[in-house]
A and B are shown apart, each in its own frame.
Chain A
Amino acid sequence: MNGRFTRLAETDRPTVNIIVDGQPVQAMVGDTLMVAMLSSGASLRSAEFGPEKRAGFCLMGACQDCWVWTADGGRLRACSTPVENGQQISTSQPEVTWPNHG
């Protein structure tokens, strides 16, 4: 499968490039991270409590199904975060280091 989402209009916008799990992904200015990622791929992350991939659910910041991570471990809600050129995104949570356990 190519992208899950299909673009229906507003396709004259300038493009930007982001990196998802080390792979370049082309997006458009004004895209949310979710639209950028699901226009070229089928999912955003893996479920923690089941075998399936997830691609978000509510798109309005209520369900929290669309979390992805920045290179330094910050958590982003893909449905409400605009893309930025050069952004590096990970679809799995980077290793967590607890401050008092080194």
Chain B
Amino acid sequence: MAEPRVIIVGAGPAGVRAAEVLVASGVRPVVIDEGRRDGGQIYRRQPEGFTRGYDSLYGTEADRALSLHETFDGLKDKIDYRPDTLVWNISQGRVWTNANGRVDDLEYDALLLCTGATDRVMPVKGWQYAGVFSLGASQVALKSQAVSIGRRVVFMGSGPLLYLVASQYVKAGANVVAVLDTAPFFARIKALPKLLAEPGVLWNGIMLTRMLQKSGVRLMTGVKPREILGDPETGVSSLQFEAGGKIHEIACDAVAMGHHLRPETQLADLARCAFRFDSVTRQWLPVVDADGRSSVDGVYLAGDGARILGARSAEASGQLAAMTLLSDMGVAASDRWALRQAVANYARFATGLAEAFPWPHEQIADLADDVVLCRCEGVTVGEMRRVDASEANRAKAFNRVGMGRCQGRYCGLAGAEVLAAARDLPIEAIGRLRGQAPVKPISVGVAEDEA
């Protein structure tokens, strides 16, 4: 048969390892990536000309980052690599791309989506002020540009990334004034049996926390955020929160906030993949089998874009999905048992993390009516409560939550929690915002050329 046309979307850990497997079997995949350089977010490469070493950029994961980057450098002339390119639609067996206004559409026999993740954020009063960033953003600023997001930085939210990024800031010489975790400390103890599924990763996490304590950073658990105070012109000036029955206020000029991650599933949605509700993370995820197949023939999913299992799992699930794809197409068969086991183990660990650092949905249900829910268009929590709808897409048609610049990435999950609590419905009854093309804003001229 003719060589199969395989497209990989994303050049993070999942996409790179998948490409490596395909190339080893003589397939030349198209690898489309929105980034200027490979690595994705977690193994993001600094610009050419920057000189910091791998240890300072990636810490305990330096060897993995180096191996991934070197692997990709070795693949470049064996793949059709398209960096700086957005896939903005998938329809009728084609992906539609836009690279700086140059539009293209490509047919595929098999499509592997390694679309990664973005921060899951909980709205807080005042989070629209300049100086509030997502946790992932604060890490990108340091890793890729060698800057701190402020002179007095507070990290607030929950999850392993909170402690990881705070420790990276301390090591780089930034002034971290506090790390505020909404999760109660005992949740970690309860989750310990599942966290022991990955003892090495667990140990790294414990060491990070100890390093922060030793550096004198204020660490607090069981926190309930109250308000980010500031000025419309100059931005953030302090943060108010409750902990231990008291109200605290910390002066700061930057807040990095996040509660784990959420998969970027818009392309899986446009490819018509089925979704299921995941009660542990309270998110809708694309259905994926133990080998990386979606519900649609010829469409495969790997990495954090399918479900949040972390970078190490992304490498394994990328390899696994690529092997499955080759086997399904009759190109090459291989034993996938060990990779399947590895991914299953990461899944057990991830469940432990979700239980240790839970998404505080009850805090979101409690937010005051005047808190901004949609940062793009200034829609408030109260407007969501008053909307004449009980389903996410219908609510969006009325109040535009999910229709602004970010297309629901940073308001969709919290909006659903507000609506569920206001209607006294289970969160899954609210549904999920459907992915729409273009998945990110493109200029009108580009869309018209294609119409």
Q: Tell whether A and B belong to one assembly.
A: yes
Which residue from chain B places its CB closest to the CB of A41 in the assembled complex? B130
Given known pairs A4-B253, A6-B150, the reply for A63 and B409 (CB within 8 Å) is: yes
Within B108-145, the residues touching A (CB, 8 Å) are 118-119, 128-134, 136-137, 140-142, 145
In angstroms, Cα B119 to Cα A82, docked, is: 23
| SS of A interface (majority) | loop
Q: Is there contact, CB below 8 Å, between A63 and B235?
A: no
Per-residue CB contact flags for chain B residues 434-451 toward chain A (1 = under 8 Å, else 0) read: 000000110100000000
Per-residue CB contact flags for chain A residues 69-89 toward chain B (1 = under 8 Å, else 0) read: 000000100011010000000
Contacts of A79 in B (CB 8 A): 140
Q: Is there contact, CB below 8 Å, between A4 and B232?
A: no
Of the listed stretches B3-11, B47-55, B361-369, chain A binds B47-55
Which residue from chain A places its CB closest to the CB of B50 in the assembled complex? A10
Within A36-60, the residues touching B (CB, 8 Å) are 39, 42-43, 47-60
Q: Is there contact, CB below 8 Å, between B378 and A47?
A: yes
Q: Is there contact, CB below 8 Å, between A6 and B410?
A: no
Which residue from chain B places its CB closest to the CB of A80 in the assembled complex? B36
Give which listed residue, A30, A47, A52, contacts B48 with CB less than 8 A.
Answer: A30
Give which listed residue, B173, B254, B377, contacts A8 with CB less than 8 A.
Answer: B173
Given known pairs A8-B142, A60-B140, the reply for A30 and B130 (CB within 8 Å) is: no
Given known pairs A8-B146, A47-B128, the reply for A42 and B137 (CB within 8 Å) is: no
Q: Is there contact, CB below 8 Å, between A57 and B232?
A: no
Within B287-317, the residues touching A (CB, 8 Å) are none
Q: Is there contact, CB below 8 Å, between A55 and B145?
A: no
In angstroms, Cα B129 to Cα A35, docked, is: 18
Given known pairs A4-B131, A8-B173, the reply for A59 and B150 (CB within 8 Å) is: no
Instruction: Say if the beta carbon of B234 comes within 8 Å of chain A.
Output: yes
Contacts of A58 in B (CB 8 A): 118-119, 133-134, 136-137, 406, 409-410
Instruction: Say if the beta carbon of B329 comes within 8 Å of chain A.
Output: no
Instruction: Say if the beta carbon of A61 comes within 8 Å of chain B.
Output: yes
